[in-house]
Structure 1
Amino acid sequence: MKTGMIDTSRIEAMISQLKAAATRPEQGVKGVGSAVPDGEPATRVDFASALKASLDQVNGAQRRAEDLGKRFVLGDDSVNLSDVMINSQKASIAFQATVQVRNKLVSAYHDIMNMQV
């Protein structure tokens, strides 16, 4: 369902992905996924760390796009224009989705604050 210019179905999909990421087992110390033995519950990740991981992914996409753009401008032959444009668009879409999630969270916060107890 679209409200104005915001597609709420995509925001809800991103929130469900964050919830799914919060229930995944934590990664091992060296970056290798830790195996959870049968019978033991998976450790939960809090919302703040799941949100931070998502923001770090968006930041990484923006940095990669910026780095490719700089390398292309400086004349690096290993970087072509299509890679620069694709990475730039990926970073832009990721940032726009993040802004929409932020707006949805702020709206939910205002709704909760306006509730009568």
Structure 2
Amino acid sequence: MTDRVDINRLLTEMRSIKSQTQAFGGVEGANGIRPGGINPVENKNRVDFGDVFSQAINKVNNIQQESGAVSKAYIQGDPNVSISQVMIASQKSSVAFQAATQVRNKLVEAYKDVMNMPI
């Protein structure tokens, strides 16, 4: 059951990143002010997309480094590391990298769509 906890933790982290990017979701009016009188320019608690994306990339990098360290420890014969731990770390690393790649692909696709919009 420890495998499931790690997957749930990863999903929780992904959801928290998603909620950070949608922290100030809502529809703006014609004057650029959101309902309730909150002007996004004046908001001091803005979340920078670049920072969120950078944090996500750093998390993927950390997961990959942990996977490499576990694999190296197993290869060197560390009795505290089992093959199942190596496989789980490897799969977590693979899933994190694939998720980051898919996000990048969607961002590039969205950028291309915006750039191809008629003015």
Q: TM-score, normalised by structure 1?
A: 0.67
Which of residues 47, 64, 67 is equivalent to 1:65? 67
Equivalent position amino acid for 1:44 in 2: R
Structure 1 residue 57: deviation in Å? 0.6
Structure 1 residue 18: deviation in Å? 3.5
Computed over aligned residues only, the root mean square deviation of the Cα atoms, in angstroms, reads: 2.1
Which ranges in structure 2 are unaligned for 5 or more consecutive residues?
Answer: 1-13, 25-42
Counterpart of 1:18 in structure 2 is 17
Q: Answer with 1 or 2: which has the greater Rg.
A: 2
Structure 2 CA distance for partners of 1:78 and 1:20, relative to 1, 3 Å = same
Q: TM-score, normalised by structure 2?
A: 0.66
Which of residues 32, 47, 53 is equivalent to 1:51? 53
In 2, Cα distance between equivalents of 1:61 and 1:19: 19
Equivalent position amino acid for 1:73 in 2: I
Which of residues 91, 106, 109 is equivalent to 1:107? 109
Which ranges in structure 1 are unaligned for 5 or more consecutive residues?
Answer: 1-13, 25-40
Count how many residue pairs are aligned between Structure 1 and Structure 2: 87
Equivalent position amino acid for 1:48 in 2: G
Q: Percentage identity across aligned positions?
A: 44
Equivalent position amino acid for 2:86 in 1: V
Which of residues 92, 100, 107 is equivalent to 2:94? 92
Structure 1 residue 17: deviation in Å? 4.9
Q: Which has the higher contact order (CA 8 A, sep 6+)?
A: 1
